[in-house]
Amino acid sequence: MLSDRMQSALNDQINLELSAFYTYLSVTAYFEEQGLRGFASWMRHHSNEEMMHAMKLYDYIHERRGRVTLLPIGEPPHNWATALAAFEDALRHEQKVTAAINRLVDLAREERDHATNSFLQWFVDEQVEEEAVVDAVINDLQRIGDFGPGLYMLDRQLGGSEVESGDTPSAT
């Protein structure tokens, strides 16, 4: 059984994961509007991953005989000046999620909740990957700058990058 404190913290994490889903979905809409279908496809894939993360937490709370409490999700940003700015926002959000996961691990260890600590290790590893794939695209966008053909090529690559491992092809 989960402590009240752990249950509350896990519910907060569900909210954060749903917020990440909502943010990535908003970025997807932005890229669709810009005609960058590859970027939109990449973001939509990652928005679906964030929903899966939320549901993984949701199911875990129930497995531990806890109660899920869904909280309001804030409005995500809608516009970015550039594709790079959108990905930098995504990275900041991933870093926020990583910090929250780390706090959950700390709480699980403090409470000697070995089951939750074990469960959270998947999220720790996942966040390393999440930050790395977003950072890889940021690095490519920084190299490309305002070079239109480079942006076109990266858009095409990202549209075909829905691989199981989550690897993102590099434009370099």
Question: Mean pLDDT in the chain?
Answer: 93
Cβ density class 134-155: b for 16+ within 10 Å, e for less:
bbbbbebbeebeeeeebbeebb
Chain centroid to CA 13: how far?
Answer: 12
The Cα 101–Cα 125 span in angstroms is: 10
The Cα 28–Cα 83 span in angstroms is: 11
- pLDDT recorded at residue 161: 57
**pLDDT of 58 over the 70 cut:** yes
**Percent of the chain topping pLDDT 70:** 93
Give one word for 145, left, alpha or beta, with left for phi > 0 and alpha for psi -120 to 50.
Answer: left
Confidence category of residue 83, pLDDT binned at 50, 70, 90: very high
Q: Are the CB atoms for 20 and 71 separated by under 8 Å? A: no
**Percent of the chain topping pLDDT 90:** 91
* All domains in the chain, ordered by first residue: 4-159 (1.20.1260.10)
